[in-house]
Every structure is written in C-alpha cells, then in structure tokens.
Amino acid sequence: DGSRPAAGDALPRLDGNVAGALILGGKYDVEMQGEYPFLRDELRFIDDVLKRDLPFLGICLGGQLLAHALGQDVGRHHGGYAEYGYYDLIPTAEGRELFGEGLKVLQSHWHGWYETPKGATRLAYTGNFPEQAFRYGSQAYGLQFHPEATRATLERWIGRRPADRHQLKGAHPPDRQLADNLVHDEGLGRWFET
C-alpha cells in the first residue's frame, strides 16, 4: 500500500497480508502533531507495527517518529546544526555488520536531534548528530539519512527548500550537494539494495 497520510490517505490496516511497514520523510517535524494530526496517526500505526513484531523501516521523519514512539524527544540540534548533503556515517561496533567501516550518506534535515531510544541499539552517527541509525528489537530500524533518494529527488528537495536552510551551520551549499551526489550516490544505492 502506498498511502500518503499527509495528503489525507488512510493508513493501511495491519492484517495477515502486511509483511512490513515503511515510513519515509517529509517536511513535517515530530512536534507538529497538533497542526498535522496525521503524525499522531502514524505514531499509533508504529505502535501497532511494533506490537505485531512486523519489520519496520523509518527513514528521516519515519525514524524520528519511531524514536518518539519509543519515548524520545526529537527536536533541533542544540547548537543549530543541520545536515544537507553527503556526510560520513560512522558505525558503532554493533553497526559495522550493517554499514561496514562507514559510508557517505545523503542527509536532508534540520531536525533530528535525539538520543538512542531506551531498549534500542545505536548503529551509527555523524559528527554533529548522535543518532543516524538504530535498531529496536530484531526488525525495526530508524535511519536519519536518505538511501532511497535519487538525483531527481535531491534536485527537487534543493529547489523547494527555503534558502536560509542552506545557511545553517553544517549545511552544504546546493552546488556541493549535487557534485557530491555524482561521487557518492552509486555506493549508497548499492548499500541500500543489499
């Protein structure tokens, strides 16, 4: 099911035909639940997925929602940092099995500051954000980075992103993001496919 709750679609019913769930990113932040009630629906959906022990992958906002569903506050970096572009993903000892010695990963966020949820295993981090990948149980994963994005996706994000976001500490300018895409996208895509 390819439902889009932000556009008014209902979330799929979890029944015996559902093998797993994926929640992608978006322009919303976890604390915007009052303004965007679909975020509360997605949090209830995640709770249901976890109770059923179904495989789950949350990417960017999806990972932040998973962390929040597990009791973590999610917000802005306390020092005002953002990540737009490609950054070194640094695996923990537990994360090396999944990430090897590390990857260059595509980031597109100014929120995403949170600690590893209680009961979860931290798998990777970047220089400015302590949580880039975590596992909860054996089948639920939260990622802050974007292995699913194509070059067209990156170009669309750059085109609609407010210009002041590129001025935030740590953010790469659009021309560097596009140049780095040519260097790092293929390797990130190979990792994601495997």
Contacts of 33 (CB under 8 A, 6+ apart): 39, 40, 43
Q: Please determine, for residue 112, whether its predicted confidence score (pLDDT) is greater than 80.
A: no
Res. 111 pLDDT band, cuts 50 70 90: confident
Q: What's the rounded Cα separation, in Å, for the pair 14 and 44? A: 12
| Residues annotated catalytic, as ranges | 60, 146, 148
Res. 1 pLDDT band, cuts 50 70 90: low
Buried b (16+ CB within 10 A) or exposed e, 53-68: eeebbbbbbbbbbbbb
pLDDT tens, 29-65?
Answer: 999 999 999 999 999 999 999 999 999 999 999 999 9
For residue 112, the SS3 value is strand
| Average pLDDT of the residues of the chain | 94
* Contact (Cβ atoms closer than 8 angstroms) between residue 111 and residue 100: no
In this prediction, what percent of the chain has a pLDDT beyond 70? 99
Helical residues (DSSP H) of 52-173, grouped into ranges: 61-69, 96-99, 151-160
In 3D space, the residue among 94, 187, 97, 93 whose CA is nearest the CA of residue 145 turns out to be 187
Least confident range of 5-19, 109-123, 144-158? 5-19
